[in-house]
Structures are given as structure tokens and as C-alpha cells.
Structure 1
């Protein structure tokens, strides 16, 4: 429902509106002027309603912020004010045939459709009360009123004649130039303000006389050491045919200094923005670019002039369009978004992946524009993609290799078993017919085949760790160690080993693999012993969210340069005559630990034993 036809019948509304002796203005819900009657046009000296249609109520400098605040709250506001037509002309608000100042009485009322209905806009009733104000002023002595007004003005006011002689000034002017008023009367204006013997070329009084118009300027006057805002207006028709020039003078040094500082700050920020490698942009609520920095232009391939013609959606890749529109709406609603990823399109059509933060600047509760800082992450994303693809390839290759090792080692056992069986059968049946040298050859062959069988079995066990499904469950390491000691009972008895342990925890893990892990480490400690019987101690401690286990022995120790190598498959540090084994045990232990998301390492010194450490994440484990 519109503001015009939402109240009464259209023909009645039209007649009342046009024939009202009071000026009436109708504004829409955004404060834009949509209708104005003839009485109102006459008050403001406007010829046609089309000249003011769309005028912004909230942008009118003659309406105070207090009144605007009431209107935004839905309250009626009434006020009287002096309406300055010169200001209207200076600001270029609209064309008017009137000059000077009038006094107006204005009442602005928010309009709603029915009780509790939607908000339609505002109706302003305007009356010219200049005659009433003049009548009120005439009640006061003209001379007294003039003097009181002259002194009450906050700005410096002074009057000179056509010869630039100061005839009158107020106390504010005397204070501004730093001299008593009595000393100033009769002096030349240029002597007081400019400190010169003759009027300078830019003298406002001379310009006003020469051009026959009001002069306004802001200048820095070195004589007074101040920034001054000066207005000079002619008063003609004085008795005797003379002309006076009335000046107002204001010290705007603080304002000018603030503006200079602001300009320098803006230049510094622009310099910073234009020298950063990040892409910085500002977009208005309609999506038009307000600002883009140099990195943005260079990355997307647009000139500064071209960027001004773009809207946000021109640079968004279709794949990111929905996501970007949603983000834009959320930011316009007041959210601040971080880590936003999107794909932009450069001028030549290349996709550019970016990541950044977006916020919105507000004024009077309305969004003015977004502020966004993006970083080009195209190369990073491509590297991540390649890394992920490479990791998938490695994982697939490892799975294939493990499957191959498992299948190969499994299939090799049967022919190898046959070789050993037939060699032993040959020795049993024909042993009395063979010489001692033939018996040695058969022993060598059986020994080599047996060692190969042990290596194949080790390789099979190693591949099973990678291919066998993990079954993590609460595993009691006390029970695991007890089972390991039973499995190694014969080796412990033969070596005279003594194995002790601290209290061990319950951890989340695959119990079968953990038994294999502890058994490999303890059997190694028994095997690689010195002259003394093995002394082995197992312990565990909590550190930074994981359990650190240790298996300490008094064995032969390990050289520093060998401490990493011993965890590689088939790596041996001793001959088979010194110590039996396949070189798979520690590699198997490492693989089991890594499948449990842990790590394994050794601290050792030759002749002083070794301590093997491995970690298992807590994952809810508890001490048994």
C-alpha cells in the first residue's frame, strides 16, 4: 500500500493535498521526497515538484540530528528554524528563486497504514512564520537588538567601508586578532588581518566589491599564524549611496590541522595498502567497488579505471557464486567472517583461489560498504592437491607392496619346504653312500634353506602388520607382559635373565600386535647380552597425552651411528655366527608402533646396555 492511497480515497486526498494553505511534503519510508504541494513549493521558492523529487530528508543540513533521531525512532518531531537559502545554493541541494533567510515552523509525522500496519513514510507540514518572527523582533529596540546580536555571534564579525576602513567589530573578532577593539576601529582591514600596507590581491572585500557577490574562502594567514574561514557580503543602499562589506571570520586551524592529519593518515594507509601483497577491496551495498589496492589490480589484471566500472559479481567464479552471495548477505547483516575461501576470475578468465576476512562498515545503523582482505592461495591449494594426490599414490603403492610381500612370502614357503624335505630325505636314504664332503654340502643347503624360510616367515609377519585389520580395544599391558614372559620362558631360563617391571597401564591398541612388540624387544634384550646374565626392566610414564614405555637392558649396547639403521628391515649389526636372527624384529616393532600412531627410538652406549623407548597415545587408557 502506498503512502498516497493508504489513508483516504485518492480524489479526496488529491483535493486536500493541493488546496491546503499549509505546505505539505510526503516522504517514503527511506526519507525520499515523493510528493509536495504548491503551498510548499512557494515557501521554498521552487518552480516545479520535479526539481525536488527524491530530495533526502535525512540529508537535509537544515534538519538537526536531534530531529532525525526522533524520526528514526518513529516519533513525531516539531521545530522552528531559520532557513538559509544561500546555504541551499552553496550546497547545490536544489534550484530556488529566493534569497536570504526565512523562518519556518515544521512538524514531521511518521505515517503507518492502520493500527499496527506497515510503516509508509513521513508527512511534513511547513509554515512560513517569518512575518511573525519579525513582529516579535520589532518589539525589541532595533539598536539594542542589533548590538546584542552582533556580540552574541560566536564568530568574529567586522564591517568595513569601500576604502577598507574598519567601522565596527565585535569582541570575538578582537579576540581572534589578539588586539583590543578600541585599537582596531579606524584601521585598514589589511593592516589588521594581513599585516600589510596595502590590500593583497586575494582581499575578500575588494573581490566582493569587484565581483558584486558574496565571497567565501579558507586561507592560511601567516601574519596571525592561523587558518581562517572568511565570508564577505555586500550591504548596499546605505544612506548617502555607500556600500558596506560585512565580514565573518572564524579560526579553523584545528579543523584544518585535523583534515591535514587525516589526509596524511589516508595517504599512509593507501601507501601501505598499495604495497602489501594481499588483495584489499571495499564494496558498497549494491556490489560496486569503492576501492581496490594495487595487488588486487595486478592479480586480477584490471586497471584502476576498469575496476571502477566493475561490480563484485563480475570477478566471482561461477563455482563460488552462491557461497559469495551468502557471505555478502551475512556481512551486510552485521557479521564479521574470517577464513572465507572463494575463487575469483581474472580479466583473462583464469581462476584465482583466495582466502580472507570480511567485515562491514555501518553509519546510522545502515551498511555503507564491506572491507575485505584476501590472500592469493592458488599455489598453496595446488601444492596441497598435489601433496594429497602424492600421499594417495604412496599409500596405494605401499598397500600394493605389502600385498605383494604377503602373497610372495606365503607362496614361497611351500617350494622351500619341499627343498628342505627332499634334502633331508636324500641324507636319510643315501647318507651311508655319500662321502663327508657331500654331507657338508647337504648341511649347508639345509641351513641356507632354513634361514631363507625364517626370513620369509619374518617378511610374512612384517607384511601382516600392514595388511591385517587393526582391532583397537583396551589392552592391559600387565597381562600382555605376562603372556610375553610365558612365551619366552625357555629363553629366559637358558640365559638366566631376570626381568622386572613397574606398574603398567591399560592402553587403546591391538592386543595381538602389542604382544608381538613387547616380545620382540625383550627377546632382543635377551639375545644381545654380554657376559653377565641379562637384566631387563620394563616401565611406563605419562607425558603430554601419551604413554612412554621403556625396555632397559644391560646388554652389549649399540654404536651411535647405528641407532637409526637397526629399525630398517633385514639390517643386521652382527654376523650369524655371533648372533642368530633375520634382521626383521626391530623393523616389525617400529611398524607396530607407527600403526598405533606412536614413535620408537633407542638410547644406548656400547658396553653399557640399551634402553628402547616407544610411545602409545593415551586415548582413554588408564593404569591397571
Structure 2
């Protein structure tokens, strides 16, 4: 029920004035006509309707009373006031009338009456005991508060709507009294902090926030109470288990005639976001540390490359050159063991030279990397057939087969050239005795804007347990006498693919052959190549 204290005070004041007039009623009554006219004149200008009840029936009704009820004086005089009252309100009204007569004091009461047009009206009434013509009676003042009640009902319904919205909001909503007591917290706020309604409504704001934030909070209170609206506010609350909850939101103050009524705030829990930001910052720091170490490693690698390409190369070239000269000049003068030992020296220098060259190639993958661009693998393979791999193709009677034109990809042309040379060369080298090597190269367009290339041979193959080891630097599965090489070629391939953001692997069956596959970013449209395969890496 909406506050009606102002109306009640006004009614009591009017009642006192009416009581003073009624005290002289008996003195004024000389004849009945004058009696009715005097009473009408007495109450005509009063804002409240007035009636007098004696022995349970109306003995007087003011003009305002007739207006409120919609009934004439003749329809009211001699009837019971209870006949006007709505059934649900009759008992309490009857009890109040008994109290007025018995206890001889005034009562304020709200109830509903039924006007002549069947319209239900709300009234507020002040009833007081009265001695009229020597007999007890009740004089009552009533005011029609139907419109006020309608507004109260609308406000109540609106309040229910607003409360429902607040209770079902995903944001944390709070209302705080100027002294810090909590006036209202919505369900999201309660659940976020882990309190039930009874617990939190007996707390103050300062009990759910860190102690070291209280001083700053009081300063914010003063600013908000002064009328300032604070947005983008980051605050911290303490939940029931003592953990900190970080929130962001806005606060402002509800003012009535310049006086603070309560402070309202809307917040959103950003604890997860803050934790993610902290983790991201830590990750960025880790990445920065890794990059610094990588830069240091790259510098050291560049230093090594410089040493290897100059300081180490020169002695090796001399060993190789003088060894060959010595071998030529002493031809026919050395016995078999001496000649073999000299060959070991020359061969060792050549192998060391090859190893240094491969290490330089490995280091240049990152130190001398070029921007990625569209690369046509078909052209690269054709060049390999005609130049770098021409001799070994001729010696092994090997062939390279490309069933369909290969898709273009993004890459460093020189590194993709090195990649294909190593993979195709690997297939030509590890061929079965008496079986000419056949290298087949195919591609598969994948759904994640990548393209997979397969380099398949019909060579000796390897056991599955060695699938990972073949890409390890200096890891050899065969003796140097059986197959020449430095053991770095496939490690170079892996390094190149990693630099391009792709993947590389092998699927092999002993005595059947191997398929080395790798992925690169696709260039341009995929056309109809997706129909060739599903692109799943083995």
C-alpha cells in the first residue's frame, strides 16, 4: 500500500475542525428544516465527505458523501453504512466501528465502497466517537482515493516488472544506502558472490569489498552523492569464500529534491577476462623471451655459418686439393694400404665439406629466409629433372611422374626447390636393387586453405618405428658404405616446412616404398582438386 500519511494528517486536521462545528449542532437545531440546512452549510465547503451514524444507520450525510456514493440523501438516511461497503471489507470496517465506540478514540481506515453505478471506489476514512442528542454516535470523514490507488497499483505492477527484469538480468545490479547498507542486490549479484538473499541483505557494502579499497570507495561515494555519474569503473568484491571478484560497471545516485536516496550500480563480472588477460600477458612475455633467445641463437648460428663458410672451408679445401695432388704424384709408388689411407683422408675431407654445406643450408633456412610468394612446383620439378637430378635419374634409370598439374602454393622458391630436391633425391637414392625408381608426386586440396603434396617412391621403405627418427639431424638408418649422405637432408626438409607453417610426415612399408607428405598454404582457388582426395595426414 502506497504511503498515505500526508492524506491522513490532512483528514485528522479537518476532523478537529468538524468536531468543533458539531459541538454546536444541538444548539443550532430549532426546527428540522433549519437542522438540515445548517448541517449542509456546515459541511458544504469541506474537502472531505462527512457522515454521522447512530444505531447502525446514517442520520446525516454531507453533499460530498452523496457525490462519492452516487446516492441521494433519501437513499442513504436510515440505511446501514455496511450496505455500501464491498463484501471483503465489511468485517474489518464493522470491527473498527465497534472499537471507536468502545474505546472512544479515532481510527484511520482504508476500504472499498460500491457506488450506485456499481463502480468500486477506494476511500480513506477517519472515524471518531460523538455524543449526538445524548446518544453515542460516530462521525466519519472520508476522501475518495481511487485515483491514488490506481496509480499505486500501476506503480506496484511496474515495480514488479522492474524487479523481474533486475532479477533476471545477466549483469550484477546493486542499490546502496548513503551509509553503505545494502538496499537491494539482484540474483546475478548474489549468485556471483555466493550469498543468499537473507545473508547479503544484512550486510553493508564494506563487508563485501577489500579493506584496502574502503577509503577509495568512500571518496567515490562523495562524488556520486554530489550528482556525478561514474562509468567504466573497475571494482573488486569479496565472495563468500574470500576470493576476489573483479567487476566493471557504472554507478550513480538517485536524488530526491537534491537529497541522496540511494546509490545504484550495474556491474559485470570480468574476473575470467582479467585472468585471461593476465595469462595472455604472461604468454606474450614468454614469447618475447623465446624470441630473444631465438634471436641470440640465430646470431650464434650466423656466426657459425660465417666460420663454417670461411675458416673451416679453407683448410678442408687444402686437405682435399693437396691430397689429390699427392695421390697423383705418388701414383704407383704407394702400396695398397698407403694408397687406401690416403683415400680415407681425401674422402673424409669431402664428407666434411658436404656436411658443412648441408649445415649451412640448414642454418640459412631461418637466417636467409625470403618472403613467401606464389610457387609453381611443376616448374621446380621440371628444373630438377633437367639439372640437379639429371645425373642420378640417368644412373638409376629413374622417372618422375606427375599425374595432374600440381596446385600453386605459398612458399620461399629457393627453399621449396631444396625441399623437393631432397625428397625426390631421397627416393632415387633408396631404391631396390634391380628395380628402377619411380617417384610419383600428387596433391590434395584441403579444407583449411592448405594443400598437401605426396612424394611417393617404390624404394626399400622403412619400419614404422623409424617414422620420426628419419627427420632427426645426423640420424642414419643405413651405413655410410651402403648409402652416401650426411644425415641432414630430411632434417632440412622438416625445418623448411616448419618455417612455412606446414606439417611433414612419412608413411612407409618395408620393401614396398615410402610416401613423404607435406602441407603448404594454398595459393588462389582450389578448383576441382578437392575431389582427388581428402587430404588427411597419415
Query: TM-score scaled by structure 1?
Result: 0.54
In 1, Cα distance between the equivalents of 2:232 and 2:129?
Answer: 63
For the pair shown, the structure with the greater C-alpha radius of gyration is: 2
- Relative to structure 1, the CA distance from residue 555 to residue 217 in structure 2 (aligned partners, 3 Å threshold; closer, same or farther) is farther
Q: Which residue of 2 aligns with 1:570?
A: 474
The answer to whether residue 411 in structure 2 is matched with residue 509 in structure 1 is yes
SS at match of 2:270: strand
Q: Which residue of 1 aligns with 2:371?
A: 471
Query: TM-score scaled by structure 2?
Result: 0.61
In the alignment, structure 2 segments of 5+ residues that lack a partner are 16-43, 50-59, 112-121, 195-204, 224-228, 239-243, 255-262, 530-538
Q: Which residue of 2 aligns with 1:392?
A: 288
- Relative to structure 1, the CA distance from residue 613 to residue 369 in structure 2 (aligned partners, 3 Å threshold; closer, same or farther) is farther
SS at match of 1:233: strand
The Cα shift of 1:465 comes to: 0.8
The answer to whether residue 461 in structure 2 is matched with residue 542 in structure 1 is no
The answer to whether residue 127 in structure 2 is matched with residue 234 in structure 1 is yes
The answer to whether residue 387 in structure 2 is matched with residue 492 in structure 1 is no
Q: Which residue of 2 aligns with 1:416?
A: 316
In 2, Cα distance between the equivalents of 1:231 and 1:131?
Answer: 19
* Counterpart pick for 1:206 among 77, 99, 103: 99
Structure 1 contact 406–459 (Cα < 8 Å) conserved: no
Structure 2 contact 505–517 (Cα < 8 Å) conserved: yes
Structure 1 contact 208–232 (Cα < 8 Å) conserved: no
In 1, Cα distance between the equivalents of 2:321 and 2:207?
Answer: 78
Structure 1 contact 492–498 (Cα < 8 Å) conserved: yes
In 1, Cα distance between the equivalents of 2:465 and 2:221?
Answer: 61
SS at match of 1:616: strand
SS at match of 2:455: strand
Give the alignment of 1:135-284 within 5 angstroms.
146=65, 149-150=68-69, 167-170=80-83, 173-174=86-87, 176=88, 189=91, 206=99, 210=103, 212-215=105-108, 233-237=126-130, 239-240=132-133, 242-244=136-138, 280=172, 282=174
Structure 2 contact 460–511 (Cα < 8 Å) conserved: yes
The Cα shift of 1:617 comes to: 1.6
The one-character-per-residue Cα deviations of 1:156-189 (angstroms, maximum 9, x if unpaired) are xxx9xxxxxx943246622x37xxxxxx8xxxx4
Between Structure 1 and Structure 2, the one with more helix by share is 2
Q: Which residue of 2 aligns with 1:127?
A: none
The Cα shift of 1:433 comes to: 4.7
The Cα shift of 1:494 comes to: 1.7
The one-character-per-residue Cα deviations of 1:87-139 (angstroms, maximum 9, x if unpaired) are 5266x9xx999547xxxxxxxxxxxxxxxxxxxxxxxxxxxxx959999xxxx
The one-character-per-residue Cα deviations of 1:564-599 (angstroms, maximum 9, x if unpaired) are 222222222222122222222222112222222222
Q: Which residue of 2 aligns with 1:449?
A: 349
The one-character-per-residue Cα deviations of 1:303-340 (angstroms, maximum 9, x if unpaired) are 998897452899xxxxxxxxx97747xxxxxxxxxxxx
Structure 2 contact 230–250 (Cα < 8 Å) conserved: no
The Cα shift of 1:467 comes to: 0.6
SS at match of 1:234: strand
Q: Which residue of 2 aligns with 1:67?
A: none
Q: Which residue of 1 aligns with 2:220?
A: 311
Q: Which residue of 1 aligns with 2:6?
A: 88
In 2, Cα distance between the equivalents of 1:244 and 1:526?
Answer: 122
The one-character-per-residue Cα deviations of 1:453-507 (angstroms, maximum 9, x if unpaired) are 2111111001001111323222222212211222211212222222211111223
In 2, Cα distance between the equivalents of 1:470 and 1:509?
Answer: 9
Structure 1 contact 150–170 (Cα < 8 Å) conserved: no
Q: Which residue of 1 aligns with 2:509?
A: 605
In the alignment, structure 1 segments of 5+ residues that lack a partner are 1-60, 62-84, 101-129, 136-140, 153-158, 160-165, 178-183, 194-198, 219-228, 274-278, 315-323, 329-341, 347-351, 363-367
- Relative to structure 1, the CA distance from residue 427 to residue 305 in structure 2 (aligned partners, 3 Å threshold; closer, same or farther) is closer
The Cα shift of 1:386 comes to: 3.1
In 2, Cα distance between the equivalents of 1:435 and 1:313?
Answer: 106
